[in-house]
Structure 1
Amino acid sequence: MKARKKSVSREGGAVAVLTVMIAGAAGCAGPESFTVSDLCGRKVDSALVAPFLPEGETLKVDDGISAPGQPRCQVYVGGDLHLYVRGNIDKADFDILKATERSMRRLGNPAPVDGIGDGATIADRGAMAVQACTYKGEKRQYILEIDRVDHPANTVERREALQKLLRAHLPVIMKAEGCRPQ
């Protein structure tokens, strides 16, 4: 397996430059396996993102939809959205997991998960975690959502992969946004 770097073109905002691994022997045309080591402008363990990326001809990571305190990124393979990551620093005076219960149901069989932030929910096609934090001297909460997930095909594997990514990425993205856990 031979590795090469491939730049992904800019479309309507900042798009990350990614390392692309070529599947198969050198000289063979076909689908590529991709490695993503940056989500929403933050370093991420590529092994945590890999389960969500099917083989394909093209990869695009678009983080041009981000704003201060609201990192956003979308990961496309072959033009299809396979991962949407959103972070928000929000007011600390409401229960976001309760408020979004209905939207989590649309992602399929949401269930609470212990040990991630102050609360987390994992569904068949997405996940959400909340952590109380201090941001610019004020009590806030950080909300990390992962959505639009349909790969891997096995739902149990997908839910496990979502849990691992959520657990690892929440503290990284919070720190990068300056939201210190309480």
Structure 2
Amino acid sequence: MKTTKGNALRSVVGPALLAALILGVTGCGSPKAFKVSEACGTEFDPELIGRLIPKGDSLKSDDTFSEPKQFRCEFAVDGQDRVGLRGDVVEPFVKPLEVKESVMLRLGNPASADIGDGATIADHGGMALKACTYNGEKMQYVLSIDGVQDPKGIEERRRILEDFLRSQLPVAMKAEGCRP
């Protein structure tokens, strides 16, 4: 009798375990898209940032290199650094779009965009700036994002990058204490 129960249990559990293993290996389809509403102490529009971060099984954000006036947030997907986000409070005489022109060229086909007081959108990143007051002094806030590979279509990626910078610039400025 015991042997029959063991055989019956094995005949039910065996196929179920095999099915679970197959589903686990295949991941039940494609990797998931991430919805990030907060990372590195900053709020995000989850729809926009989530579309710029590659899909995967795990997402980590790291702000180890952040310090006052220099926000840094690196997103790693499945253990690999992917997307970097940076915010800087800089002097009003600095011309970030000119200083970072070579960076934007490396990110591919930079073009001006109508965001804040100036912006550049490239194939794999972008940068926007806005004049602000920081601790009572006139300054500028510069927000940049790089390492963006998703979505795969360049035109759609550039459109999402522009939307992201437009919506994130005031949020990042406020978080840093840089008032328009």
Partner of 1:11: none
Offset at residue 131 of structure 1 (A): 0.6
Contact 2:121 2:162 survives alignment (8 Å) = yes
Identity, in percent, stands at: 50
SS at match of 1:85: strand
Contact 1:87 1:142 survives alignment (8 Å) = yes
Contact 1:52 1:82 survives alignment (8 Å) = no
Offset at residue 149 of structure 1 (A): 0.8
Offset at residue 59 of structure 1 (A): 1.2
Partner of 2:79: 79
Partner of 1:123: 122
Number of residue pairs the alignment of both structures matches? 154
Offset at residue 145 of structure 1 (A): 0.7
- Which residue identity lines up with residue 147 of structure 2 in the other structure? R
Question: When you count strand as a share of all residues, which structure comes out higher?
Answer: 1
Contact 2:60 2:76 survives alignment (8 Å) = yes
Partner of 2:47: 47
Gaps of 5+ in 2: 1-22
What does 1:78-97 correspond to in 2, within 5 Å?
78-97=78-97
Partner of 1:154: 153
Partner of 1:132: 131
**Cα distance in 2 for residues equivalent to 1:94 and 1:58:** 38
Partner of 1:69: 69
Q: Deviations along 1:69-90, whole A, 9 cap, x unmatched? A: 2111011111222210000001
Partner of 2:7: none
Contact 1:82 1:151 survives alignment (8 Å) = no
Give the 4+ runs in structure 1 shifted more than 4 A: none
**Cα distance in 1 for residues equivalent to 2:97 and 2:54:** 29
**Cα distance in 1 for residues equivalent to 2:161 and 2:39:** 14
- Which residue identity lines up with residue 149 of structure 2 in the other structure? D
SS at match of 2:34: strand
Gaps of 5+ in 1: 1-27
TM-score scaled by length of structure 2: 0.81
Q: How big is the alpha-carbon RMSD for the aligned residues of Structure 1 and Structure 2? A: 1.5
